[in-house]
């Protein structure tokens, strides 16, 4: 039998070749996994830094009746401006005032110090505190002080007038260092006509404009607490601790909007919004602003506006939020600009705010849809005011210039936008933090350190 020839052997890979090929395959897979994870992480991070906008349901916790859009209406409110934001819901709109420019100057009052917040007006007197701790009651007929107080502690709040008493908040002693959280603040109660002291309560620094309702004065303080004081005696009725320092002011939620019994609502520097039982201080609900990757939540400097069964408030993160007044549920959230420091105007089912990047924006109160935007000449810091179809706002020349996001550089001034045409129709070169307040006779234009009484021509 002949020799059988076997087929040639297949060549064998070099020693270790199979394992190297497997390693390469594993490496490719690992790289692909890493790319997917990085992409997913980047997408998640982008989403955390840029959360999606939320549009509102027009029927969810939305009350359209006129009675539900105004709170604590009393006869004297029709002809005065007795608290920050006009009424205790802080709507910043008195429908009974019909003044329009052009205005004729009547008098000028120099406060000899910075006016960061607007005055209150009631019964022929204008009440205002300035940054160096001087407090004035000014005659609205001639601009002459009827009485004054030298407290020596900074004032960055609007006083409130109720039942013949004016209530005023103060921070620490001038120059009110920001790091002193423990003591040095006050709430004073004076006879509105004479200036006679009724009581004084020493608290941690108080930046809140007082909310006075049903015999109680509500303020927030730098020690994270909300205080309810007896309006007649100053005695502390209750305190409630929140999650962070408070520089915002409280607003009133009436019984209908609150779901049975009234509440107050106030924001904190922790990006939280608290609704507290007005009688006990018990927490009804707590809501929060967006949380950003790497920066957490930014703070609520603005005072909330309560209208239509909802709470509207801007955050320094540049977003505008609407929460249900009864539940605290986030109804809608819209990115408005780089920073939002202004309180909101609520009127005609529209919400108006200003931004640091220089815009005035009108939102649909029900859905949050942006109705229109008008460019402002500069950064808008103080809350706008609506009067007889014109939306007044002021611009601050240097506000936000040291921020990490953009702020529009422009002049100090006061401007008015026609809410029908969305155009600026009037301006005044003096202004900064707040535009104006008014009563049945006059408009009071607010500058950086002065107030002017003017009348329509």
- Mean pLDDT for all residues in the chain: 89
Put residue 259 in one of left, alpha, beta given phi > 0 → left and psi -120 to 50 → alpha: left
Distance CA 98, CA 398 (A): 32
Q: What is the mean pLDDT of residues 200-218?
A: 97
pLDDT, tens digit (0-9, with 9 covering 90-100), for 385-414:
999 999 999 999 999 998 889 999 999 999
Residue-level pLDDT at 297: 95
User: Is 146 among the domain residues?
Assistant: yes
Q: Which CATH number covers residue 110?
A: 2.130.10.10
User: Is 399 among the domain residues?
Assistant: yes
Predicted TM-score (pTM) of this structure: 0.88
Q: What is the mean pLDDT of residues 53-68?
A: 82
Q: Please count the structural domains in the chain.
A: 1
User: Is 94 among the domain residues?
Assistant: yes
Residue-level pLDDT at 40: 43
pLDDT, tens digit (0-9, with 9 covering 90-100), for 147-178:
999 999 999 999 999 999 999 999 999 988 77
User: Is 385 among the domain residues?
Assistant: yes
Residue-level pLDDT at 72: 45
**Numbers of helices and strands, H then E, in the chain:** 3, 33
pLDDT, tens digit (0-9, with 9 covering 90-100), for 231-261:
999 999 999 999 999 999 999 999 999 999 9
| CA nearest neighbour of 352 among 402, 308, 305 | 305
Q: Is the pLDDT of residue 383 over 60?
A: yes
The residues near 22 (Cβ < 8 Å, ≥ 6 apart) are none
Residue-level pLDDT at 21: 62
pLDDT, tens digit (0-9, with 9 covering 90-100), for 311-355:
999 999 999 999 999 999 999 999 999 999 999 999 999 999 999
Distance CA 237, CA 395 (A): 39
Q: Is the pLDDT of residue 70 over 60?
A: no
More confident residue, 15 or 429: 429
pLDDT, tens digit (0-9, with 9 covering 90-100), for 356-382:
999 999 999 999 999 999 999 999 999
Task: Place 10 in a pLDDT band, splitting at 50, 70 and 90.
Answer: very low
Q: Is the pLDDT of residue 125 over 70?
A: yes
Structural domain harbouring 184: 79-456
- For 185-207, the three-class secondary structure string (H helix, E strand, C coil) is EEEEEEECCCCCEEEEEEECCCC
Distance CA 171, CA 148 (A): 18
User: Is 283 among the domain residues?
Assistant: yes
Maximum Cα–Cα distance across the chain: 137
pLDDT, tens digit (0-9, with 9 covering 90-100), for 287-318:
999 998 667 899 999 999 999 999 999 999 99
Task: Place 23 in a pLDDT band, splitting at 50, 70 and 90.
Answer: low
Q: What is the mean pLDDT of residues 57-67?
A: 82
Q: Is the pLDDT of residue 94 over 50?
A: yes
| CA-derived radius of gyration, the chain | 28
Residue-level pLDDT at 51: 85
pLDDT, tens digit (0-9, with 9 covering 90-100), for 213-235:
999 999 999 999 999 999 999 99
- The share of the chain scoring above pLDDT 90, in percent, equals 80
What does the DSSP assignment read for 355-403? -TTSEEEEEETTT--EEEEEE-SSEE-SPPEEETTEEEEEEESSTTTTS
First to last CA, the chain: 132
- The share of the chain scoring above pLDDT 70, in percent, equals 85
User: Is 10 among the domain residues?
Assistant: no
Is 331:400 a contact under the CB 8 Å cutoff?
Answer: no
User: Is 49 among the domain residues?
Assistant: no
User: Is 43 among the domain residues?
Assistant: no
Q: What is the mean pLDDT of residues 191-218?
A: 97
Question: How many other C-beta atoms are found inside a 10 Å radius of the C-beta of residue 19?
Answer: 9
3-state secondary structure of 288: strand
Task: Place 67 in a pLDDT band, splitting at 50, 70 and 90.
Answer: very low
Put residue 247 in one of left, alpha, beta given phi > 0 → left and psi -120 to 50 → alpha: alpha
Q: Is the pLDDT of residue 77 over 60?
A: no
């Amino acid at each position: 039998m002949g020799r059988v020839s076997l087929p040639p052997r297949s060549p064998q890979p070099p020693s270790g070749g199979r394992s190297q090929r497997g390693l390469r395959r594993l490496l490719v897979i690992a790289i692909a996994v890493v790319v997917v994870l990085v992409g997913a992480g980047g997408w998640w991070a982008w989403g955390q830094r840029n959360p999606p906008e939320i549009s509102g349901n027009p029927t969810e916790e939305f009350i359209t009746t006129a009675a539900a859009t105004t709170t604590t209406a009393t006869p004297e409110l029709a002809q005065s401006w007795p608290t920050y934001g006009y009424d205790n819901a802080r709507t910043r709109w008195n429908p009974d005032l019909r003044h329009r420019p052009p205005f004729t100057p009547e008098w000028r009052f120099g406060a000899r110090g910075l006016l960061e917040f607007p005055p209150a007006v009631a019964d022929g007197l204008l009440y205002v505190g300035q940054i160096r701790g001087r407090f004035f009651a000014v005659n609205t007929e001639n601009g002459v002080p009827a009485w004054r107080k030298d407290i020596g502690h900074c004032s960055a709040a609007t006083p409130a007038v109720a039942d013949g008493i004016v209530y005023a908040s103060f921070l620490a002693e001038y120059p009110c260092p920001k790091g002193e959280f423990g003591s040095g603040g006050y709430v004073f109660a004076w006879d509105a006509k004479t200036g006679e002291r009724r009581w004084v309560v020493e608290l941690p620094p108080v930046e809140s404009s007082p909310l006075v309702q049903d015999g109680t004065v509500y303020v927030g303080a730098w020690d994270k607490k909300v205080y309810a004081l007896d309006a007649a005696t100053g005695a502390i009725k209750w305190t409630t601790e929140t999650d962070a320092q408070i520089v915002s002011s409280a607003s009133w939620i009436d019984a209908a909007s609150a779901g049975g019994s009234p509440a107050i609502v106030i924001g904190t520097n922790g990006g939280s919004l608290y609704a507290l039982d007005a009688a006990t201080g018990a927490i009804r609900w707590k809501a929060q602003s967006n949380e950003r990757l790497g920066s957490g939540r930014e703070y609520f400097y603005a005072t909330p506006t309560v209208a239509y069964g909802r709470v509207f408030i801007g955050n320094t993160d540049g977003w505008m939020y609407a929460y249900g007044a009864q539940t605290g549920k986030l109804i809608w959230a819209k990115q408005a600009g780089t920073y939002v420091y202004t309180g909101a105007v609520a009127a005609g089912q529209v919400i108006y705010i200003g931004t640091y990047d220089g815009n005035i924006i009108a939102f649909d109160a029900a859905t949050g849809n942006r109705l229109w935007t008008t460019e402002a000449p500069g950064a808008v810091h103080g809350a706008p005011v609506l009067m007889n179809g014109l939306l007044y706002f002021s611009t601050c020349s240097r506000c936000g210039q040291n921020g990490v996001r953009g702020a529009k550089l422009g002049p100090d001034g006061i401007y008015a936008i026609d809410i029908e045409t969305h155009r600026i129709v009037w301006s005044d070169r003096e202004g900064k933090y707040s535009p104006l307040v008014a009563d049945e006779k006059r408009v009071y234009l607010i500058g950086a350190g002065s107030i002017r009484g003017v009348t329509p021509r």
